[in-house]
Amino acid sequence: MKFIQKIKVKNKLGLHTRPATSIVKMLQNCQSDVHFVCKNEVINAKSILSILMLAAKKNTAITIQVEGVDAEEVGVKLVEGFETCFGEPF
């Protein structure tokens, strides 16, 4: 299965340590390969360092790519996380 969706970073401070940690925790039990595509860079979304290296600020466009057995479920969870700023205030 494959899940691909484009989203925008809504967090005031962009993808800093707190949301990056939430993403990695969310993905630690997922069986699929998860990548973020941002500014012509493709990173492994299970790596906190890779997420932080993107230096994605607020309103940065990111494409979520998930491939594997639980792709749909993982993709939907990630989109929901981005929509809700991973629990941070808007």
Q: How much is the pLDDT for 90?
A: 75
Return the CATH architecture of domain 2-87.
2-Layer Sandwich (3.30)
Indicate whether 3 pLDDT > 90. Answer: yes
pLDDT digits (tens, 9 = 90+) for 29-84: 999 999 999 999 999 999 999 999 999 999 999 999 999 999 999 999 999 999 99
**Active-site pick, 5, 7, 16, 67:** 16
Q: How much is the pLDDT for 89?
A: 85
How is the chain split into domains, by residue range?
Answer: 2-87
pLDDT digits (tens, 9 = 90+) for 16-40: 999 999 999 999 999 999 999 999 9
| Radius of gyration of the chain measured on its C-alpha atoms | 12
Closest CA to 63 of 41, 81, 48: 41
| Amino acid type, 59 | N
Check if 16 is active-site: yes
